[in-house]
Amino acid sequence: MATALLRRVASAVGPLLQLGGRPLSALAPAPLRAGPAARAPPGLIAALLTARPVLGLQPALGFKTKGVLKKRCKGCYLVKRRGRWFVYCKTNPKHKQRQM
């Protein structure tokens, strides 16, 4: 059960990460790889945590993009920057919004 889950996670996450040019099967623990003489490389989890993301992907800014901005609490305030309106909140950062 755990092996199947590990394979599913590795197949889903593998294409999103650069793994130093090595195939994903080379990073798997010894029981998952083919061949009896294979040495055990560093664990799959350690390799995935230290891998660099693909250059085309960028982390989200954390803003909700909306056509109509609304203040959701007393701490929210509007700011106009670079020709767009932004809502920032001092009390709850989840209220951040950006105009489309």
Mean pLDDT of 25-42: 56
Decide if pLDDT at 45 tops 80: no
Give residue 18's pLDDT. 53
Mean pLDDT of 37-51: 62
The alpha carbon dihedral of 15, 21, 53, 49 has a sign of: positive
Give residue 10's pLDDT. 75
Measured CA angle at 89 (ends 86, 92), to 5 deg:
135
Mean pLDDT of 66-90: 94
Measured between alpha carbons, how far is 13 from 99 in angstroms, rounded to an integer? 32
